């Protein structure tokens, strides 16, 4: 059985690029994937601009009284010249007048009628934003494949965009299988039945990934019914995710259905999710995830998130490192991805699994509270406190712990 990294390399090597795009207003573009590069056409600012309220002067005039001859507010297109001994009161964001090379803050001067006297000098060029300080003409500002957050949208707005091109959200059908699984709102007929949390958790993850989830009706453990449901889902969607039916039980029919297709991932040497399957039917990808809620979420993050981000061209880095706070003892011979909590210990990023419940792969609550996934390699039996260890971010959106681009 191949390792996680081996399977991921194979999967990425055949991942198709998603290029279908649409033009939408910026007000609807939050968390959408940018379809094309954004390049500055002009420098910003295009002219020297004041960074604060003050007086635009000639630097060499700071030892004399200076006459205030005018005022320039932001947004005023002024073309005023100053001579020695003159200045312009210049407000934040206003263009700096001709011949001025320094802004003296208001609090650095005292007034004497229509003159100012500088009581605290400033260096040459102080508080003047140079041409191209924010960006230069032809500078690449946002790469295609970027998930648009508030910072990117602000930049697009500053550039004058009201609409932008984003990738169309791929439709991902979500099909849960299992005779024991009930849809939300159904009444239990016996004590062995459980409510489907996978339809909510996986569909929520898909939205965060930039996809449009299509929740299909739950299908009981009948091979023909599952085959029909799979075909129906593939007819409606671009990709299909199933949960349940991939293990080795007598009624795990998704395992057999995927094997009748082109198999790409036939299990992985990981815990949880050892029985995961990825296959292609008529050039459409099927991700057959385990039925346990925790396992389904973890394998969706480890496999489908990597797949769809590679397809989008985003290629975000989800691996990070931290110092292990407590010993971690492995429970299997496989590579383990265990729910863990990050903490800031006097500026040191630490990770621990101590607050998480021990048990089966059904404990979905272990992923609550912004949990990450501690990664323990297959060749190790334990990880010792104080070690630098690797973890996977179990999140889709940007988090200040890990991404400070803005």
Q: What is the pLDDT of residues 65-91, one digit of tens each?
A: 999 999 999 998 878 899 999 999 999
Please, are residues 376 and 335 in contact by the beta-carbon 8 Å criterion? Answer: yes
CA 355/CA 374 separation, integer angstroms: 13
Give Cα 376 distance to the centre of its chain. 24
Residue 179's pLDDT band (cuts 50, 70, 90): low
Please, are residues 337 and 298 in contact by the beta-carbon 8 Å criterion? Answer: yes
What pLDDT sits at residue 182?
66
Is the pLDDT confidence value at 362 over 60? no
Burial of 26 (0-12, 13-18, 19+ CB in 10 A): middle
Please, are residues 183 and 203 in contact by the beta-carbon 8 Å criterion? Answer: no
CA 202/CA 210 separation, integer angstroms: 12
Residue 224 is inside which H or E element, if any? helix 223-236
Give Cβ neighbours of residue 160 (< 8 Å, ≥ 6 apart).
Answer: none
Within 10 A of 235 (CB to CB), how many other CB atoms are there? 10
Give Cβ neighbours of residue 267 (< 8 Å, ≥ 6 apart).
Answer: 1, 2, 274, 275, 276, 277
CA 303/CA 273 separation, integer angstroms: 10
CATH, range 319-392: 2.40.340.10
Residue 403's pLDDT band (cuts 50, 70, 90): very low
Residue 322 is inside which H or E element, if any? strand 319-324
**pLDDT mean over 36-59:** 97
Residue range 21-34, pLDDT digits in tens: 999 999 999 999 99
Quick one: 4-19+168-312 is in which CATH superfamily? Answer: MoaB/Mog-like domain (3.40.980.10)
Please, are residues 286 and 258 in contact by the beta-carbon 8 Å criterion? Answer: yes
Give Cβ neighbours of residue 7 (< 8 Å, ≥ 6 apart).
Answer: 265, 268, 278, 303
pLDDT averaged over every residue in the chain = 89
What pLDDT sits at residue 153?
98
What pLDDT sits at residue 253?
58
Q: Radius of gyration (Cα) for the chain, nearest Å?
A: 29
- Which class would CATH give 49-129? mainly beta
What pLDDT sits at residue 225?
85
CA 223/CA 43 separation, integer angstroms: 62
- The DSSP secondary-structure symbol of 17 reads P
Percent of the residues in the chain that have a pLDDT greater than 70, as a whole number: 89
Residue range 197-212, pLDDT digits in tens: 888 899 999 999 999 9
Please, are residues 131 and 45 in contact by the beta-carbon 8 Å criterion? Answer: yes
Reply yes or no on domain 25-41+142-167 having CATH 3.40.50.1980: no
Closest CA to 179 of 232, 219, 228, 233: 219
Domain boundaries, the chain: 4-19+168-312, 25-41+142-167, 49-129, 319-392
Structural tokens at position 302: 């480890």
Structural tokens at position 87: 């200045």
CA 109/CA 322 separation, integer angstroms: 50
What pLDDT sits at residue 188?
74
Within 10 A of 370 (CB to CB), how many other CB atoms are there? 12
Where does 152-211 show beta strands of DSSP type E?
A: 163-167, 171-176, 181-182, 194-195
Residue range 276-332, pLDDT digits in tens: 999 998 889 999 999 888 999 999 999 999 999 999 999 788 999 999 999 999 999
What pLDDT sits at residue 227?
85
Q: 132 in the Ramachandran plot: left (φ > 0), alpha (ψ -120 to 50) or beta?
A: left
- Give the CA distances from residue 123 to residues 138, 150, 309, in Å, rounded to whole numbers and listed in that order: 31, 35, 48
Within 10 A of 124 (CB to CB), how many other CB atoms are there? 11
């Amino acid at each position: 059985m191949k390792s996680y990294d081996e399977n991921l390399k194979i999967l990425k090597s055949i991942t198709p690029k998603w290029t279908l795009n649409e033009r939408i207003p910026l007000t609807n573009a939050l968390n959408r994937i940018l379809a094309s590069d954004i390049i500055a056409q002009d420098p910003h600012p295009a002219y020297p601009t004041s960074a604060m309220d003050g007086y635009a002067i000639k630097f060499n005039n700071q030892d004399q009284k200076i006459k205030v001859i005018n005022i320039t507010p932001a947004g005023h297109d002024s073309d005023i010249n100053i001579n020695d001994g003159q200045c312009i009161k210049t407000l934040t964001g206003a263009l700096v007048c001709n011949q001025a090379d320094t802004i003296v803050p208001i609090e650095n001067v005292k007034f004497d009628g229509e003159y100012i006297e500088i009581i605290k000098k400033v260096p040459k060029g102080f508080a003047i934003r140079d041409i191209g300080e924010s960006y230069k003409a032809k500078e690449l500002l946002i790469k295609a494949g970027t998930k648009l957050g508030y910072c990117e949208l602000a930049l697009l707005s500053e550039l004058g965009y009201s609409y932008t091109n984003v990738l169309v959200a791929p439709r991902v059908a979500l099909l849960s299988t299992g005779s024991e699984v009930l849809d939300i709102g159904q009444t239990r007929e016996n004590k062995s039945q459980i409510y489907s949390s996978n339809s909510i958790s996986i569909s929520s993850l898909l939205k965060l990934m930039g996809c449009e989830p299509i929740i299909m009706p739950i299908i009981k453990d009948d091979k023909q019914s599952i085959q029909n449901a799979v075909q129906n889902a593939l007819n409606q969607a671009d990709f299909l995710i199933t949960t349940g039916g991939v293990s080795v039980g007598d009624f795990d029919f998704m395992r057999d259905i995927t094997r009748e297709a082109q198999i790409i991932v036939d299990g992985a040497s990981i815990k949880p999710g050892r029985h995961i399957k990825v296959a292609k039917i008529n050039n459409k990808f099927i991700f057959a995830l385990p039925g346990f809620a925790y396992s389904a979420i973890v394998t969706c993050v480890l496999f489908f998130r990597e797949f769809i981000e590679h397809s989008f061209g985003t290629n975000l880095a989800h691996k990070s490192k931290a110092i292990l706070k407590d010993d971690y003892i492995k429970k299997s011979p496989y590579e383990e991805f265990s729910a863990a909590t990050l903490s800031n210990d006097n500026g040191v990023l630490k990770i621990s699994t101590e607050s998480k419940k021990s048990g089966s792969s059904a404990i979905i609550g272990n992923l609550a509270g912004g949990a990450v996934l501690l990664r323990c390699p297959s060749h190790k039996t334990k990880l010792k406190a104080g070690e630098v260890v690797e973890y996977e971010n179990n999140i889709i959106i940007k988090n200040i712990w890990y991404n400070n681009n803005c």
